[in-house]
Amino acid sequence: MPEEGVPLSPNRELLTTPEIVMLSSIFVSQGVNKIRLTGGEPTVRRDILSLMRQIGALRPRGLKQLCITTNGISLHRKLDSMVEAGLTGVNLSLDTLDPWQFQIMTRRKGFDAVQKSIERILEMNKMGAGIKLKINCVVMRGVNDREVLPFVELTREKDLEVRFIEYMPFDGNKWNKGKMFSYAEMLDLIRGQFPGLAKVKDDKNDTSKTWHIPGFVGRIGFITSMTHNFCGTCNRLRITGDGNLKVCLFGNAEVSLRDILRKSNRGEPIDEEAYEAMKQIEMDRKQGRVPPDQPLGVAPNEAELLDVIGIAVKGKKAKHAGLGTLEHMKNRPMILIDPIPASLRDQMPHKIRRLISGTGILGRAPCSIHNPSSAGFRMLSSSSRRCKEDVGEGKEKRRVQLTHVSDTGSAHMVSISEKPVTSRIATAACTVRFSNKTAVSLIRENQMKKGDVLGVARIAGIMAAKRTADLIPLCHPIAISHVTIDLGPGEKGDTIEIRATVACDGKTGVEMEAMTAASTAALTVYDMCKAVDKGMVIDGVRVVLKDGGKSGRWEMD
């Protein structure tokens, strides 16, 4: 839990229980066979048992697994009822086995309650409950890395799986590369104590790499998102508490399913009363009491939902960004994602597999609210243009204008007083071109009379980024958190390529700081090399990436 806590979303923005059930039904109708309720903390929902019963009722329609991810504090009190509702798996988040450290990390008491939940699951499994228990531990260097071996010891006599997760860069956890304890380091540590550690064959779409120690009852696994991504075989989809679909946990691209779903209710949240009314319309239609052309509950919106979902899944990238980019990306942490159906552990559903392969998705028509045996077929669109139109529908187009020019035509500084503070990053690039290769050779050999060209240019770029507001009249002063200047010879040996990346937590972007840093680094190269080559040219000064703020992420092709 971040020290500052997390902001809570207004209730109106969150999915209602009927909306969660509707979306679950839609996904199951398209071949999804596993749904996981995650968090936030799903067990704190007042209606968690009712919600699980309604989702569990989808088993005759193809749902095979209903799981939760929980902190385990109140789980033991509801576990029996959850199993009756259809619970098949529990992922329990636990980063320490030290009660005092637990209180520091979670900012609350409850370690004994978590242990009680674990023991209750193991006890129920001995009676045949069949609950798959996995303990998720995020390993952080200098925080809990010393507890890796004690966690492994849990598997000696307990039938459970401990999964060690590489520290990931999400907002709110104060990302620090030095904290990451890698998969390779964990393996070496465990092998030092247990030389017999052996790899277990993983299922096709497992996110975890599973290992076993001979003689131990349980197993251990590793989720290696940072050092060995598994994007190519990942078949998970995630829906946030406010109804946005994320095809990748590490991506910052989201598309709203909530807004499309609520079109059938004039944009209002669908509560139990509205849901019952929709089901009644469907029953009346089947009994011939309403005209056949009257909209069938949410069916028209289900068709649109399936279009958008299909396009989003097809656009999933082969792998997520690397460490250098991820740590600066604006990405909602999972702690801000409310307990609603997420997805899918086993083999990718047949229909979605066909969509990704480019053959289209020929699926059942939008599922009936009341009866799963709806007949008919339809083809999902794969047009990316359609996706953009759907997502942006209903939003008023803004008039393009210069932000620093008033209505009277005079220049002024833009007010950012009401903007929220967000994490922002920008990268700018440029090139210094020489008329011959002599200068670059001297730079490589550090033979320039003025000294280390690249080292001095790097410092100059960093200093310039911090002084941008003094140079650009209407630029806001910004408390920069990080500046990186990368310089080096080009492939042909007659250029110096420069990239400057600037990051901050602030109310406005850092594009100008990145441009100033890159330009000043280039000017410094020019100054230190002009005695050797007077025909140098500085060109291509441009922003190649910006992220954060209202407009989100932009990247030059």
Which two structure tokens, joined as six digits, stand for 174?
């104060």
Q: Are strands 422-433 and 480-489 parallel, antiparallel or unpaired?
A: unpaired
Contacts of 356 (CB under 8 A, 6+ apart): 313, 314, 316, 348
The verdict on whether 527 is a catalytic residue reads yes
3-state helix, strand, coil in the chain (%, to 5): 35, 20, 45
Task: State the alpha helices, DSSP H only, in 137-219.
Answer: 148-153, 183-193
Catalytic residue, from 203, 527, 533, 547: name it. 527
| Cα angle 80-239-381, degrees, rounded to a multiple of 5 | 130
Task: Identify whether the C-beta of residue 226 lies closer than 8 Å to the C-beta of residue 139.
Answer: no
Amino acid, single-letter form, for residue 214: P
Residue 472 dihedral angles phi and psi, to the nearest 5°? -105, 115
| Through-space distance between the first and last CA atoms of the chain, rounded to whole angstroms | 37
Structure tokens at 110: 């409850």
Gyration radius of the chain's alpha carbons: 28
Q: Are 27 and 35 in contact (CB under 8 A)?
A: yes
Task: Check: CB of residue 433 under 8 Å from CB of residue 536.
Answer: yes
Taking CA atoms, 74 is separated from 48, 79, 382, 452, in Å, by 12, 9, 43, 61
CA angle 384, 388, 393 (to 5 degrees): 145
**d(C-alpha 308, C-alpha 310), whole Å:** 5
The DSSP bridge pattern shows strands 198-199 and 161-166 to be: unpaired
Nearest Cα to 533, choosing from 429, 433, 430?
A: 433
Separation CA 516–CA 472 (nearest Å): 9
CA distances to 58, 335, 358, 367, 413 from 361, in Å: 22, 33, 9, 15, 51
Question: For residues 112 and 99, is the Cβ–Cβ distance under 8 A?
Answer: yes
Q: 452 — phi, psi (to 5°)? A: -70, 100
Q: List alpha helices for 224-371, DSSP H.
A: 258-261, 272-286, 299-314, 323-326, 350-356
List the one residue out of 89, 100, 190 whose CA is nearest residue 139. Answer: 190
From residue 343, how far is each of 28, 122, 247, 378, 474 by CA, in Å?
10, 24, 10, 23, 47
Instruction: Give the contacts of 82 (CB within 8 A, at least 6 positions apart).
Output: 48, 49, 52, 68
Q: Which residues are catalytic?
A: 527
